[in-house]
Amino acid sequence: MTRKQRRLTLIGSAGAVLAVAIGLIMFALSDQIVFFQSPSDIAEKQIPDGQRIRLGGLVEEGTIIRADDAKVSFRVTDTVNTVQVTYTGILPDLFREGQGVVTEGVIGPDGVFAADTVLAKHDENYMPTEVAEALKDKGVWQGEQ
């Protein structure tokens, strides 16, 4: 092979790998990303059945109900709208009433949000940014600006 052919092979294979990578990324981005929604978004928008979303807000006071087999249900609120959430498993250490929470899962036909992931903040000063901004949107943010 001449120098030119070798260079072309190199560039060709590099281009091929790059194309595959870009293809994978585009496909995954179109399919695998999850949008963040507040309870009001859910009340206002039509979210297709079975679409995974992230729901964030405050855990409404007095709504945590624990059942057997580590099942738990609670309500997530942005103080305007609320959504009923069910979850099976161990809640994060910092999951508390009146605190910010982000859950990921699917809304059932009955309007109950079946979460398979519950995330709470990592330390006591932290509010998930999504939640903070959703609360600011609703004008009910009480922390510092």
The verdict on 51 binding other proteins (CB under 8 A) reads: no
Would you state the structure tokens that stand for residue 55, as one six-digit string? 């729901």
How far apart are the C-alpha atoms of 145 and 132, rounded to whole Å? 10
Cβ nearer to other proteins, comparing 21 with 140: 21
Please choose, out of 43-51, 77-85, 107-115, 126-134, the segment that lies near other proteins by the rule CB under 8 A. Answer: 126-134
Distance, in Å, from the CA atom of 67 to the CA atom of 53, rounded to the nearest integer, reads 25
Contact between 10 and other proteins by CB under 8 A: the answer reads yes
Query: By C-beta, is 90 or 140 nearer to other proteins?
Result: 90
Contact call for residue 49 and other proteins (CB under 8 A): no
Minimum distance from CB of 14 to other proteins (Å)?
Answer: 6
Judged by DSSP in three states, 103 sits in strand
Euclidean distance between CA atoms 78 and 137, whole angstroms: 10
Nearest to 38 by CA among 144, 145, 139, 116: 139
In three-state secondary structure terms, 132 is helix
Choices 22-30, 43-51, 74-82, 105-113 (CB under 8 A): range interacting with other proteins: 22-30
Nearest to 52 by CA among 114, 130, 133, 118: 114
Indicate the residue among 43 and 94 with the shorter CB distance to other proteins: 94
In three-state secondary structure terms, 129 is: helix
Question: Can you tell me which of 50, 69, 109, 142 binds other proteins, judged by CB under 8 A?
Answer: 69
Q: Contact positions toward other proteins, by CB under 8 A? A: 1, 3, 6, 9-10, 13-14, 17-18, 20-21, 24-25, 27-29, 31-36, 54, 66, 68-70, 88-91, 93-94, 104, 121-124, 126, 128-130, 133
